[in-house]
Structure 1
């Protein structure tokens, strides 16, 4: 029975959904990356920026659909995927961010072929995974962190407390039994899932945190915010960990992304095959046009000079013939 409970922790029930459930009113491209099931939503304008959403524990890309239309309406493309062992992706068990970080790296490599700016928006386990990834890879434009945890041990102990309503001394004893059982069954150490107190991340960040969060203690949010090196902002939520985020909060998140990310727009009729816009690329294109124009002017001037020389030569020959 105890092993069964540990398996429930490591192998939460997958969210069942159909592809039609992923629709949000904007064009969607589904694709697969090494067993990960992914979706890319395209806004109505060409953009150099894409928001990559990372779902929480026991979640899936279905969780992201509620945000997709808001993001696309704001001229960002939006991508989501099922972490390993979640939704429709392959995988045997979750690792609360350790292996999920590799999932993120795989998807970002794919997106970087099309987009100049990548924004990571993670919730709970997804937010912690975003920090794990960005701690090692400084290629993210900005971070949206909704209720990340600092140390997995605290979350598991709180989960026991919520389910059994037992005192802390018993909860800690049960946690130790769970830790040992999970290590034996899955060769996975819960104690390895923790963020450093000093987060060497320089990209801007917005942190969403709630004092009413019964799953993640407040000190997790305080420590993450204090240890974050880059520009940061905190937004206080007024609801519990798994409750739906309000429209105002979603607008706050999108406003933050817009302020951090320059948007370039192109007419679909003028650029039918263009997947994205890049301000720097526009600059290079403009510079290239100027260089080409200069070359054409030089060629024209050179041609004109050559023509003038030929005319003068012809005149000189004509004069010589007259002298003869």
Structure 2
């Protein structure tokens, strides 16, 4: 009887193991790199913003959809490229863009590849997106070669922003909120959270390797913690100390390893993953505004210097 029970348990464990490997190879990779496409039924005109629609072609011929939000200030102090998180869309930044117009800053809000109304089947967490950001920078430079360019990303968008800052020195300052250190780390963290604290790193490796094959990218090279070691542009990094999705410690590590000497870290007390502005309140908003205005002015002055 005891042997029969042991044999049955062994069979069940084998079936579960095989099932887990199959799920890791054929299901989880799509969950990692193929987010649902979301768009909100709102346009800049609904907020009475001055804007133009954008179609920007990436290096690998994917069309990105977005808006250039304009200010009445002539010339504008700077322009900020906004980068949303996984499953997000450009419309999430409309209110922020409106706030920036009031201080003389323009913005580009885009649906990242495989998101919103942009083309592309898979996202790669910055591996290809950093090149997409460079295509956006090219477009800006063709329209206005003297305007200072910044980038602002949260969650996955923050990881993209960090890699773009390393990749393209024409991006002159950055704001990063609530992002991760490496793609390997965050995939493992999410897996562990979904399996009641049980870490299965070998299954994560299978899923990531397959995701890399599908998306034609190298997951091991998606490493914001490596990128920050080469970034010299001014940066502000913010992270909530109660972030439920991405560890607060990741934000601190990114800041500590950041090469730039012009840097600021904001620990938002009781801040979660999506509510830094709400939990940070007026002091957080003012810190962001000060960083933007100060760096925009300094860059404007340097661009006018003989």
- Would the aligned equivalents of 1:153 and 1:191 in 2 still touch at CA under 8 Å? yes
Taking structure 1 as the reference length, the TM-score comes to 0.75
Gaps spanning 5+ residues in structure 2: where? Answer: 1-21, 58-62
For residue 56 of structure 1, what is the aligned residue in structure 2? 85
Query: Mind listing any 5+ residue stretches in structure 1 that lack a counterpart?
Result: 265-277, 285-324
Aligned residue in 1 for 2:233: 203
- Per the TM alignment, residue 147 of structure 1 is displaced from its structure 2 partner at its CA by 1.5
In 1: Cα distance, 2:39 partner to 2:227 partner:
37
Query: Quick check: 2:130–2:167 contact (8 Å CA) kept in 1?
Result: no
- Residue 15 in 1 paired to residue 38 in 2? yes
Q: Against the structure 1 CA distance between its residues 222 and 12, is the aligned structure 2 distance closer, same or farther, given a 3 Å change threshold?
A: same
Pairs aligned (count):
269
Q: Is the counterpart of residue 27 in structure 1 residue 57 in structure 2?
A: no
Q: Please tell me whether residue 4 in structure 1 is matched to residue 27 in structure 2.
A: yes
Shift of 1:121: 0.8
Q: 1:232 matched to which residue of 2?
A: 263
- Contact 2:179–2:251 (CA under 8 A) maintained in structure 1: yes
2:73 paired residue among 17, 25, 45: 45
- In the superposition, relative to structure 1, how do residues 224 and 177 fare at CA in structure 2: closer, same or farther (>3 Å)? same
Match for residue 136 of structure 1 among 167, 181, 187: 167
Residue pair 2:231, 2:259 contacting (<8 A) in 1 also:
yes
CA RMSD after TM alignment: 2.5
> Does 2:134 align with 1:105?
yes
Please say if 1:243 is aligned against 2:272: no
**TM-score of the two chains, using structure 2 as the length reference:** 0.79
SS in 2 for 1:261: helix
Match of 2:66, SS? strand
Deviations along 1:226-282, one digit per CA (max 9) or x if unpaired, are 111221111112322133622523332122110111299xxxxxxxxxxxxx66787
Query: Structure 1 residues 263, 241: closer, same or farther in 2, change over 3 A?
Result: same
CA contact (8 A) 1:36 1:84 kept: yes
- Quick check: 2:44–2:51 contact (8 Å CA) kept in 1? no
Q: Secondary structure at the match of 2:230?
A: coil
**Higher gyration radius (CA):** 1
Residues 220/87 of structure 1: CA separation in 2 closer, same or farther (3 Å cut): same
